Every structure is written in structure tokens, then in C-alpha cells.
Amino acid sequence: MDDEERNGVDMHRFETYAARMNKLAVRLTPFTDEEEWDGVTVDDYGEPAPAEATPEAKALAGAIWVACELLIDDLFEDLRELGQDGEIDPDAFLRAFDELPPAFITHYNALFLKKFITVVVDLGRQLVAGQWALTCVAQELALRMVLDRVETVQEIYGLTLDDDWQSWAEARLFEDLDHQWLYNPRMDGFEENPGFAEETGAANLRIDQWFDPFRRDTVMNPYAAAESTWPPEGEKDEEDDEAEIRISYEETSWQAEETMTTPWLIRPDSVEALRAIDPEDFRSAVREFTKDRPFLELDDALHAVLRTFGVHSKAPDSEHPRETGWLLFEFDLVNPARSVQL
């Protein structure tokens, strides 16, 4: 049996993944020091690094990519298992959510899980790009959960990894292992002790700080950085409706301006359909489409939502917004029917 048929899995697909992770593979290639290994150079962080990755490190990097993919799938499945109130159903079968520190289970709900998913997605992008600085405690926990899936990937693909791959990966990918204290039942409540943080230098271990960036210059995913914003109770007037739409856009990375309008191209034969859109129906469509897609940019989400109303549209070019065969509108993100043709 050749490599592509091993274990009945697509090895070509895995090798494609591994090739994308070359920077990570180099990062994970073991070395001793510059005197003992002529191939050692200095990476972008000023740290010693080998010039080329070993086959085992390439396999590990590919396994981490697949493990990250598995974790995201597991988290989305867990999101579906949450109760209607957004809380954890004690009878639900969870694939990943129960791998978080158990002492904080009362704080885990749908909003927390959605925010956690965004930092996992960002983690995958960072590892591909060679950005090793983890952004927050939640992302440290995410990487821990990714590494816990590597052995599963190794078994699926029949990979050969170094015996000490996990300790080496931890040393190269974590700045410290303070987050592991969160799993220690004998240290329950330690994160609330300010003296402990001062003595150890541990940062952001209280659960309300898990999504806070470690560094001031770190730009967090807008959804992960957002505070909990449940819709206000009671009756709402039009101003309240506009505020609610604004919250929805901000939490889904929609870069809407305060005026809640954006330049947008509409096909001439879709103008009538645009004018017929009910604002309440539009709001419902936005919620439905974006509730499980917190990473969408405005262009992609708006295009998709408008298609459900029979409106053919697209984002204009920033330098040359007008285009033959299309009408340029100042699109109203609260009430599309009020959009103004430019």
C-alpha cells in the first residue's frame, strides 16, 4: 500500500496541508544550539531556528493544521448541542466544550462558545502566517485543545513524529504554561488572588479576562473582544431597532459606519426588489445568516443576505465605485428600502 492509500485516507490532501505550514514546521524542528548544528539561523523573532524543517516536523505541522480543523468542527457541533437558553445541557454529548477548565463550567454558554470559536479560527491563521505570539488566555486553551488532537491525527494518517513532539511543541508555541493551573482542582480560586498574580507574573487568568489581549498592540477579533449584548427587554422604538442592528453588525465584524450606510452596487433589474424589502424581514435575515458566521466581513454577508431577497448586488471598487451595468447606491443597513441612488 502506498502513502496515498495508507489507512484509507487521502495522504495527498494531508501533504497539501503540511506544505502550507512550512513556517510552523521550521519552528517545530528540534535543535540544540548554534555550535552543535550548523543549520541553525535566526528567525523573525530573533530566536535560533533551523534553516529547513525535518520530515517529522513537517508531519507535526500538518497534524496541527488538521487538529485545528477538527477542533473547529467539534466546537460547531457543541454549539448545536447547547440548550435553547444558550446554557450547557447536562445530557448533551460534547466533543470539545468539556475540555475547557471544569471549574468555570457555569460561565460557559453560547456566547462564550462563539467567542471561543473565533480565537480558534484566528489561531489557525496565525500558525500558517508564522505568528507565534498567542493573543489571550482563551487562545492558549485553544492551542492546548489542538495539541490534544494531534495523536488522533497521527493515528489516522499513520504519521511518524518525534517521541517528545508535545513537550517541544509546547516549548516553541507557548510563552508560558500558566494556563495549565486553571485545570488544577487543588488551586480552585487562585485566579482571584491578586497576590498570586503579582508573585508569579501570571496574567489574565480570571475568566472575565480570558479574551483580553496580552499586549496592548494586539488586535483581537471583533467578536471575541465584544461584550455580551443581549437584546434589551421590553418594547423598542425605531431608534432601539437601529441600535440593535448596529450591535449585530459590530459583533459579526461588519465594518459599518455610525451612519449605518455603505456604498453598494445594485443591478438595475433588482431595484424594485430592493425597495420592497421590509426592515424587520431584513433584520431577521441578517440574524439568521450571521449567527453562526461571526467572522464574515460586510461585503460577503450583505451580498448573501440580499440574494435571499432577489437582489443582485456587490461591493464597489474603492477607487472606481461606478461600474457599467450597475447602479451605485448609498445602502441603508437598517432599512434597505431607504437606500439612496448616487
- Asked if residue 159 and residue 37 are part of one domain, the reply reads yes
- Asked if residue 292 and residue 202 are part of one domain, the reply reads no
The answer to the question of residue 232 being in a domain is: no
Task: Say how many domains are in the chain.
Answer: 2
pLDDT at 211 > cutoff 60 = yes
- Asked if residue 47 and residue 139 are part of one domain, the reply reads yes
Cell 487568568, residue located: 205
Counting Cβ atoms within 10 Å, is residue 76 exposed (0-12), middle (13-18) or buried (19+)? middle
SS3 (DSSP) at 258: coil
The answer to the question of residue 233 being in a domain is: no
Predicted pLDDT of residue 50: 59
- Asked if residue 202 and residue 110 are part of one domain, the reply reads yes
pLDDT at 142 > cutoff 70 = yes
Residue at a domain's end among 172, 197, 225: 225
The answer to the question of residue 312 being in a domain is: yes
Residue 250 contacts residue 222 (beta carbons within 8 Å): yes
More confident residue, 208 or 14: 208
Counting Cβ atoms within 10 Å, is residue 140 exposed (0-12), middle (13-18) or buried (19+)? buried
Mean pLDDT, to the nearest integer, of 13-39?
A: 69
Highest mean pLDDT among 77-81, 220-224, 272-276, 324-328: 272-276
Predicted pLDDT of residue 45: 45
Q: What gap in Å lies between CA 178 and CA 265, rounded to an integer?
A: 50
- Asked if residue 255 and residue 157 are part of one domain, the reply reads no
- Asked if residue 191 and residue 97 are part of one domain, the reply reads yes
Over residues 304-336, the pLDDT tens digits come to 788 778 888 888 887 778 887 788 998 888 888
The answer to the question of residue 246 being in a domain is: yes
pTM of the shown model: 0.60
Residue at a domain's end among 203, 225, 247: 225
The answer to the question of residue 117 being in a domain is: yes
Q: 174 φ, ψ to 5°?
A: -100, 140
pLDDT at 220 > cutoff 50 = yes
The answer to the question of residue 231 being in a domain is: no
Q: What gap in Å lies between CA 64 and CA 75, rounded to an integer?
A: 16
- Asked if residue 300 and residue 165 are part of one domain, the reply reads no
C-alpha cell belonging to residue 44: 523573525
The answer to the question of residue 271 being in a domain is: yes
Residue at a domain's end among 179, 194, 225: 225
- Asked if residue 259 and residue 192 are part of one domain, the reply reads no
Percent of the chain with pLDDT over 90: 22
Q: 237 φ, ψ to 5°?
A: -90, -175
> What secondary structure, in 3-state letters, does 281-315 show?
HHHHHHHHHHCCCCCCCHHHHHHHHHHCCCCCEEC
Domain, as residue range, for 81: 3-225
Q: What gap in Å lies between CA 214 and CA 232, rounded to an integer?
A: 31
- Asked if residue 63 and residue 129 are part of one domain, the reply reads yes
Predicted pLDDT of residue 75: 92
Predicted pLDDT of residue 48: 54
β-strand partners of 110: none
- Asked if residue 121 and residue 22 are part of one domain, the reply reads yes
- Asked if residue 106 and residue 247 are part of one domain, the reply reads no
Residue 256 contacts residue 325 (beta carbons within 8 Å): no
The answer to the question of residue 160 being in a domain is: yes
Split at pLDDT 50, 70, 90, the class of 288 is confident
More confident residue, 298 or 12: 12
- Asked if residue 109 and residue 242 are part of one domain, the reply reads no
